[in-house]
């Protein structure tokens, strides 16, 4: 066994659960052809795949905004659906694929009104 493969095996054995989880999310996203959230540039058209970590209803001037935080192991993005109270199937822990234009607002990545597809477990 080479030094490089021993080093990789050692990193896998000593990695935290969060590191292993993030690596699995990144691998799944890459295999599906999705962009990595951490490498997306402002105003870029993207296809992202990840897991929903939170869902929040945030009213803006009387209109509902459904805000969903998604992670892919390389970073997080907030998905915002304006005028929506809820979307069936969109819940924490759900895997989702979204398409849209990413933007950076107040230092946070966001995609407004993305096309979406829920990934079956």
pLDDT, greater one: 19 or 117: 117
CA-CA distance, 26 to 12, in Å (whole number)? 15
Predicted local confidence at residue 89, as pLDDT: 95
d(CA 61, CA 22): 36
What mean pLDDT is predicted for residues 6-26?
A: 70
Q: Which CATH superfamily is domain 3-118 in?
A: Nucleic acid-binding proteins (2.40.50.140)
Q: What is the pTM of this model?
A: 0.80
What ranges do the domains of the chain cover? Answer: 3-118
Residue 7's pLDDT is 65
For the chain, what percent of residues have pLDDT higher than 70? Answer: 87
Q: Does residue 79 surpass a pLDDT of 90?
A: yes
Alpha carbons 29 and 48: distance in angstroms, whole number: 7
């Amino acid at each position: 066994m080479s030094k490089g493969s021993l080093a990789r095996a050692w990193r896998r054995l000593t990695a935290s659960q969060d590191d292993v989880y993030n690596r699995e999310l990144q691998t799944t996203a890459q295999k599906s052809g999705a962009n990595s959230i951490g490498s997306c540039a402002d105003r870029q058209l993207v296809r992202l795949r990840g897991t929903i970590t939170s869902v929040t209803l945030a009213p803006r001037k009387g209109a509902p905004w459904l805000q969903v935080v998604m992670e892919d192991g390389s970073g997080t993005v907030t998905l915002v659906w304006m005028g929506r109270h809820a979307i069936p199937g969109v819940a924490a822990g759900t895997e989702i694929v979204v398409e849209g234009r990413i933007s950076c607002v107040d230092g946070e990545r966001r995609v407004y009104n993305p096309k979406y597809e829920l990934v079956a477990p």
